[in-house]
Structure 1
């Protein structure tokens, strides 16, 4: 039977949750911080037939208050403990204190070397700085040297308070924010400067399926000849998580039509996504509602194991 690996799964340590609430961040980006435990997560995984979940910390991550460096270390240590306590059931994407770029490099090295983290999670922006910002060039160079996996997760965009009319960012802003960060990576030529970083993008293609052709068209029209990257090629070279927070079949099928089946991985967005959506999407995907045969096997585990060989 095909193994199932969830590359988009979150953990929420209780002390982190309490610290967010104490800091007045009980609803980051407009969504409540869920209760989480390894036991409850494993119970849902068993119900859905998920063998392994790659854990990461969602928005806002460690960069709240004045202790980003300490919180990054604390969160990563907590994630590493869950991985060690339940062998084979969890992987880990380490969080970084991106408000302190030099410390972010040090924590990436510590997490990958000492904690055996399987990759890194970066938010689409921290304090208005996106991953392509020059401040993060040393970090990207280190991750490129290691051929690291980087999961790019959305957070609220700068000026978010004036955009959604009081609605949660997860409603639609997350999709546009991921798209904005990816387009910035493309047009800044960051993906070409650091070609060995393996990026995973969440949420069934975000809004890239609707905007990539337009970006290519207007790039060719508005930018100088030497500044016209091949948008479609670069997007296809990234990895795309299918399954989380978007109903089937339309968006997922559009993504498959755009990028093919070679770089697809499975995700649930547990515990932030509604339980009924997680169950429904997982059953549809695993039941062949999108892909079948080898393509389905690749989506559920083969491609993830290429990205995360330790999980094998």
Structure 2
């Protein structure tokens, strides 16, 4: 489901990353992957992929804290580029528009522009935007507009932003990473992507954000991340009996497993990018069913060769869990229904 953001825009993206301190690569990666429409179409052809939904991954498009003008500029360039690809290859490419969060006013403008002028298929949000997680009360106007537009929201993880780092007057990508345990040893994507996605979706659920906006559909990346392992505990602590365990009693919505499962059934999808097989999928199936699973390649941050290897693992593991029709729905049927192409 994920692809990069640009072609000629690759140079512009690199310049923006350098300007904002995301070097040599975004989210502390040692590189910025190359990508082109031609190479991606060839990848799709080799692997029987009829259509890709493009999105800009971490660190998103609002790259410099406090510089909303630059965030809006980068966001618009990324979205215009993706829209042009969709116009040029309408049967092969769709896209999730980026938003310049935490700039609320710029985000409200971009939602309307992306839907009304660029024909975006939905939106991609980072797991946090300079420390603003997705259940934050300040996002209420954004969710109100997304609710009105019945929008589809795909969430991509990025570097966690601990409060002590994000409240600092000179927030930089390095300062964020310096506050993350083991970040000097392991790349952010190994553990922290999973943890930050889990953190933001727990926030979406326990803040009441999801239930207050039932017409907003969320796509959770990487087979639910660590949600299956965390939800039982999070829901327990959300109960009135555990009010003393809540940092700010009264702000946490009480939820039960049946309520969450119903929301997952009607409002959430889970992509299978990364390494869901052979283990993670079993935990996620405690909370959802095959009808809510979507294939995702994770290209280009996962290389073509690695993505093809993961696809072969899926081919061998899915028949152990699902019938043939369910497998076909996971690969394409569920997405076709979601995007209205079936």
Provide TM-score, normalisation by structure 2.
0.83
2:271 aligned residue: 241
- Take 1:161 and 1:308, find their aligned partners in 2: how far apart are those partners? 40
Q: Is the 8 A contact 1:48 1:283 kept in 2?
A: no
- Worse-matched range after superposition: 79-88 or 156-165: 156-165
Q: 1:181, CA displacement in angstroms?
A: 0.3
Query: Structure 2 residue aligned with 1:228, among 230, 238, 254?
Result: 254
1:278 aligned residue: 307
Query: Structure 2 residue aligned with 1:11, among 5, 9, 19?
Result: 5
Deviations 1:43-71 (A, max 9, x none): 11111111111000011121113300111
Asked if residue 85 in structure 1 is aligned to residue 83 in structure 2, the reply is no
Q: Is the 8 A contact 1:247 1:277 kept in 2?
A: no
Q: Is the 8 A contact 1:10 1:269 kept in 2?
A: no
Q: Is the 8 A contact 2:155 2:219 kept in 1?
A: yes
* Cα 1:195–1:256 shift into 2, 3 Å: same
Q: 1:211, CA displacement in angstroms?
A: 1.1
Q: Is the 8 A contact 1:216 1:230 kept in 2?
A: yes
Deviations 1:151-203 (A, max 9, x none): 01111111342223212210100001011001111111111111110000011
- Worse-matched range after superposition: 193-202 or 256-265: 256-265
Query: Structure 1 residue aligned with 2:125, among 115, 122, 127?
Result: 122
- Take 1:255 and 1:201, find their aligned partners in 2: how far apart are those partners? 11
Higher RCO, 1 or 2 (CA under 8 Å, sep at least 6)?
1
- Take 2:140 and 2:59, find their aligned partners in 1: how far apart are those partners? 22
Deviations 1:207-230 (A, max 9, x none): 012111121223234137993113
- Worse-matched range after superposition: 26-35 or 149-158: 26-35
- Worse-matched range after superposition: 247-256 or 201-210: 247-256
Q: 1:247, CA displacement in angstroms?
A: 5.3
2:63 aligned residue: 64
Q: Is the 8 A contact 1:123 1:152 kept in 2?
A: yes
- Take 1:152 and 1:104, find their aligned partners in 2: how far apart are those partners? 15
Query: Structure 2 residue aligned with 1:163, among 180, 190, 200?
Result: 180
- Take 2:129 and 2:231, find their aligned partners in 1: how far apart are those partners? 24
- Take 2:300 and 2:15, find their aligned partners in 1: how far apart are those partners? 17
Query: Structure 2 residue aligned with 1:198, among 208, 217, 221?
Result: 217
Provide TM-score, normalisation by structure 1.
0.91
**Structure 2: 5+ residue stretches without partners:** 163-176, 244-248
2:111 aligned residue: 108
Asked if residue 305 in structure 1 is aligned to residue 305 in structure 2, the reply is no
Q: Is the 8 A contact 2:134 2:201 kept in 1?
A: no
User: RMSD in angstroms over aligned alpha carbons?
Assistant: 2.0
- Take 2:44 and 2:5, find their aligned partners in 1: how far apart are those partners? 13
Q: Is the 8 A contact 2:5 2:78 kept in 1?
A: no
Asked if residue 178 in structure 1 is aligned to residue 206 in structure 2, the reply is no
- Take 1:42 and 1:252, find their aligned partners in 2: how far apart are those partners? 28
- Worse-matched range after superposition: 127-136 or 88-97: 127-136
Asked if residue 20 in structure 1 is aligned to residue 39 in structure 2, the reply is no
Q: 1:235, CA displacement in angstroms?
A: 4.1
- Worse-matched range after superposition: 15-24 or 128-137: 15-24
Q: 1:286, CA displacement in angstroms?
A: 4.5
- Take 1:239 and 1:161, find their aligned partners in 2: how far apart are those partners? 33
- Take 1:262 and 1:69, find their aligned partners in 2: how far apart are those partners? 36
* Cα 1:279–1:72 shift into 2, 3 Å: same
- Take 1:256 and 1:229, find their aligned partners in 2: how far apart are those partners? 19
Q: Is the 8 A contact 2:102 2:130 kept in 1?
A: yes
Q: 1:97, CA displacement in angstroms?
A: 0.8
